[in-house]
Structure 1
Amino acid sequence: MKDWITATGGRQEADYRVTFDTPDAPRLALDTTVMTPLAHLGVLDVEGPDAESFLQGQTSAQVSLADGNLAPLTCFCTPKGRMLANAQLMRVGPAHYRLIMHTSLVTPLAEHLKKFAPFYKVELHERDDLALLGLIGHEAAALAEVRFDALPSGPWHQAGNDELQVLAHPGPRPRLLVCLPDGRAEADWHWLKEHATPVDNSVWRLQDIQAGLAWLDADQRDTYLPQMINWEALGGISFKKGCYTGQEVVARAHFRGQVKKRLMRGQLDGDTLPEPGSAIEDAEGKRLGEVLHAELDAYGQVEILAVMSTKEPAEPLSLEGQHLKLLKQPYPIERVDPESMAAKD
């Protein structure tokens, strides 16, 4: 656990969870501005003269679009198109790119990419010396602008410099992710605490669920095609770029309409958090899919993200004895080209 998190009164528990003695944290996020350490996320840097060409051959993003303004989603796949990691890609400086993903995937992805690195002038760095903070609420933008002198133009964009970056994420409330050196995290936290309430990082994870955004962890790697977590609907796949590992399978699944499972949102009628991988069953007891993430919402009910069959299910649906109601996704399930996102800038 990072020292600065302990110094702020946070406690890190299993599954990369950080908790604070703040009651009704999810409800606070509905009406006020809150902040949280994003201990479940980690950073991998790719640096060197060949960094762009190296990443271009490995990732689903059109790397040139990560220009210091747009910070697109991306993923890394096996030759069979299964994701080894999904991430957000940003450019920190010339020949310096940064990937943000679930912290349990930083080392496995680095080890995978190092197999190809000897053919390029590039270095990989697992950045344990960086802190990630989350701001949620209508005052988040003002706080970032005053404290960090950086404010992104919209979701999946970045602002800042080579030392500190601020990223805007989608969600039911305005959200900003701040990436900064560990050495200044405690001071920044105490300043922000005068204007925002510390909450568990489960609040940020809940907003990811409500945004229909799944960050895979190490137990889920090499399992899903990108489309199974709606990655093309979030602009996380460029179908206009050249080859990358797994590209042929990913493109075939898209153009032939062969995706039989999709990421879906749901709500349980109880307050028991299911474990990732827990089975979702239809009225006949047939397995339809499995849970990726689950968190308690502001009303004490469990909200989930699950990968499920796209076939019309035989209702009622259940999950470990709890009734499951499917919820509408906050975006249409259709292809969004990241090139079109860059064209709007």
Structure 2
Amino acid sequence: MLDWSLLDGVRTLDADRLDFATPEPARRALDATVIAPLAHLGILEVEGSDAARFLQGQTSAQLDLADGDFAPLTCFCSAKGRMLANGQLLRRSAHRYWLILSRDLVTPLAEHLGKFAPFYQTTLTPRDDIALLGLIGQEAPALAEARLDIAPPATWHQVVHDEALVLRHPGPRPRLLIAVPEAALVATWQAFTAQALPVGNAIWRLHDIQAGLAWIRAEQADAYLPQMINWEALGGISFKKGCYTGQEVVARAHFRGQVKKRLVRAQLEGDRPPAPGAAVVDAAGKSVGDVLSSELDAYGQPEVLAVLSTKEELGPLTVEGQVLKRLKLPYALERLDPETLADPG
């Protein structure tokens, strides 16, 4: 486990939440560059001479696309097509891949994949020695280039220099995910906080919500088809690759249009962020969906990602007594092939 207490001024709220004394962090992130320790994310390393073939049979990503430049979104499903985990796949060397996903799913996914890995001479290793940092702001790309000597990549691409790896994620402000060895954590943090404000990882999670990106956690595993969190609209499913576990169900749901629930972005009229799993209810008190994630925005109101029924007109909705107002997603609800994203030019 990483020792985040090495960072000056850090406060531990729980195992997945860190914070700092920076006032109004969500508001400051609107016009300043901020940096956050991404304690809620982790890395599972997959390594071996046959690692690519092993992953090709398990993940929704086309392994040929993970080429050390493009780092596609992906997911792992049960035989019934339900997601066991979702994340980002990147190649670190010829036979070594990293999966970035919710920290509390690293061990469960390793245990699940571990049932098949020995047949492919592949090892699975949680990389607890790698620190993930999130840099947000209009000046984030220039600051990363100055501090790491790295020209930031395009969205969902990666770039490496010495021991540092940088990924670009979408959002309302430029966002860079930076991975460095734990031994370099303090020096890297100090270099960035000379110009960037330290904030808790709730701010990164808020920007994920605003980008319409849902990263499932352990309690949400095996509950949703990938399309229920709009994964095909984000380029997280390759419909051009061969078979993988759950592929038939996922493909059938896509080609027959049988997705009964969809991810929506919304704001609550209140000041109480609901916990994941909180019910979204209609005027009659019937549950029509549930909350995946929620954080307070710059105005002190909860923004949420929720999975709602697509069956009927739902009418007025509430979460824990707070009125739910739908917000526009920043992408179209249509298939986006990762093969298209792989070439940003």
TM-score for the superposition, normalised by structure 2? 0.98
Map 1:1-345 to 2 at 5 A. Answer: 2-14=2-14, 16-161=16-161, 163-345=163-345
d(CA) in 2 for partners of 1:335, 1:107: 31
Work out whether residues 8 and 189 of structure 1, in 8 Å CA contact, stay in contact via their aligned partners in 2.
no
Contact 1:114 1:124 in 2 (8 A): yes
Structure 1 stretch 30-39 or stretch 115-124: which is displaced more? Answer: 115-124
Helix, strand or coil at the partner of 1:168: strand
Q: 1:63 offset after TM fit, Å?
A: 0.8
Give the Å deviation of 1:191: 1.0
- In terms of mean alpha carbon deviation, does 41-50 or 304-313 score higher? 304-313
Distance 1:344 1:24, change over 3 A: closer
Q: Distance in 2 between matches of 1:45 and 1:16?
A: 20
Cα shift readout 1:182-216 (whole Å, capped 9, x = no counterpart): 00010110111111000111000000000000000
Per-residue deviation at 1:15? 5.4
Q: Tell me the distance in 2 between the aligned counterparts of 1:9 and 1:338.
A: 40
Q: Which amino acid aligns with 1:71?
A: A
Aligned equivalents of 2:227, 2:333: Cα separation in 1: 10
Deviations for 1:255-280, whole angstroms, at most 9, x for unmatched residues?
A: 00000100001101100111111111
Quick one: distance in 2 between partners of 1:134 and 1:47? 26
Measured against aligned partners, the alpha-carbon deviations of 1:15-63 in whole angstroms (never above 9, x if no partner) come to 5111101110000000000000000000001111111111000000001
CA distance in 1, matches of 2:107, 2:240: 29
Give the counterpart letter for 2:18 in structure 1: V
User: For the Cα contact (< 8 Å) 1:117–1:123, is it kept in 2?
Assistant: yes
Query: Which portions of structure 1, spanning 4 or more consecutive aligned residues, are displaced by more than 4 angstroms?
Result: none
SS in 1 for 2:323: strand
**In the aligned structure 1, how far is the partner of 2:130 from the partner of 2:2?**
10
Aligned to 2:265, what secondary structure does the other structure show?
strand
Question: Distance in 2 between the 1:318 and 1:79 partners?
Answer: 34
Aligned AA (1:249) = V
Query: In 2 relative to 1, CA 185–5 (structure 1 residues): closer, same or farther, beyond 3 Å?
Result: same
Give 1:334 shift.
0.3
SS at match of 1:177: strand
> Take 1:152 and 1:99, find their aligned partners in 2: how far apart are those partners?
20
| AA of the residue aligned to 1:144 | A
SS in 1 for 2:241: coil
Separation in structure 2 between the aligned mates of residue 60 and residue 162 of structure 1, nearest angstrom: 30
> Unmatched 5+ residue regions in structure 2?
none
Shift of 1:316: 1.7
Deviations 1:151-191 (A, max 9, x none): 33311011014732100000000000001100001011011
1:94 to partner: Cα distance: 1.1
Q: CA deviation at 1:142?
A: 1.1
Q: Given that residues 149 and 160 in structure 1 are in contact (C-alpha distance below 8 angstroms), is that contact kept between their aligned partners in structure 2? A: no
CA distance in 2, matches of 1:151, 1:235: 24
Partner SS state of residue 342, structure 2: helix
Percent identity between the aligned chains?
Answer: 64
In structure 1, what residue type is equivalent to 2:116?
F
**8 Å contact from structure 2 (residues 11, 20) kept in 1:** yes
1:199 and 1:162 map into 2 onto residues whose CA distance is 26
Aligned-partner SS, 1:268:
strand
Superposed displacement of residue 145, structure 1: 1.0
Distance in structure 1 (CA, Å) of the matches to 2:253 and 2:233 = 14
> Aligned-pair distance for 1:314?
3.6
| Separation of aligned partners in 2, 1:135 and 1:271 | 26
Amino acid across the alignment from 1:37: P
User: What's the secondary structure of 1:44's corresponding residue?
Assistant: strand
The alignment partner of 1:138 has SS state of coil
How far apart are the structure 1 equivalents of 2:314 and 2:247? 34
Q: CA deviation at 1:3?
A: 2.6
User: Given that residues 71 and 156 in structure 1 are in contact (C-alpha distance below 8 angstroms), is that contact kept between their aligned partners in structure 2?
Assistant: yes
